[in-house]
Structure 1
Amino acid sequence: MIDRLEKEVDVLNRHLEVFVLVWQAEPIGIVKLSNRTGLPHHKIRYSLRVLEEEDIIEPCPTGAMTTDHAQQFVETLNNELTAVIDTLGGLKISESEEIQSA
């Protein structure tokens, strides 16, 4: 169960890494993103597709560019991540709740 969560966090981290590079170097194409991140092209393509579905980047003839919604995404990202972290912190089992083996 935790393995799946760790994989999802890794994928989210990759999407954010790709987003930041687009934000900093727009327009930027798949080859440059792959070279800068060391990630294979298919993973870059997937991240770009997810970011496009979220309407924070868009394709253009010379690569990917951020949209007008990117600034709002950046402004709210830390608060949203903090809320998720708080939720995950609440999932811990305290020592008094640990299951005793029979």
Structure 2
Amino acid sequence: MIDRLEKEVDMLERHLQVLRMVIENEPIGIVKMSNETGYPHHKVRYSLRVLEEENLIEPSSQGAITTERTHEFVDELDEKLDETVNKLGSMRIDDAAELEN
């Protein structure tokens, strides 16, 4: 169960790293992103596809670029991450005695 969550978090981290690179370097292509991040081309391509489906980036002849929605998403991101971290924190089972009850 936790393994699946860890994989999802890793994938989200990659998507956000790719998005950050587009924001900071637009337009930017797959090869440059792959070389700078160390992610294989197919993983960068997948992240770009996910970000495009979310309307956070769009393709151009020179590479990926941001959309109008990108900055709105970034503005809300920290708050959503904080909410998720708090929710995960509330799931902790801190004491083995709690398991016995």
TM band (smaller chain): over 0.9
User: Which ranges in structure 1 are unaligned for 5 or more consecutive residues?
Assistant: none
Alignment of 1:77 onto 2:77: yes
2-structure distance, mates of 1:59, 1:28: 9
User: Who is 1:28 aligned against?
Assistant: 28
User: Is the partner of 1:27 in helix, strand or coil?
Assistant: coil
> How far 1:93 moved relative to its partner?
1.4
2-structure distance, mates of 1:33, 1:69: 21
CA RMSD in angstroms, aligned pairs only: 1.1
> How far 1:99 moved relative to its partner?
3.2
Alignment size in residue pairs: 100
Per-residue CA shift, 1:45-94, capped at 9, x if unaligned? Answer: 00000100111100011100000111101100000001111111111113
Q: 88-97 or 62-71, which moves further after superposition?
A: 88-97
Where does structure 1 differ by over 2 angstroms across 4 or more consecutive aligned residues?
Answer: none
The normalised TM-score by structure 1 is 0.94
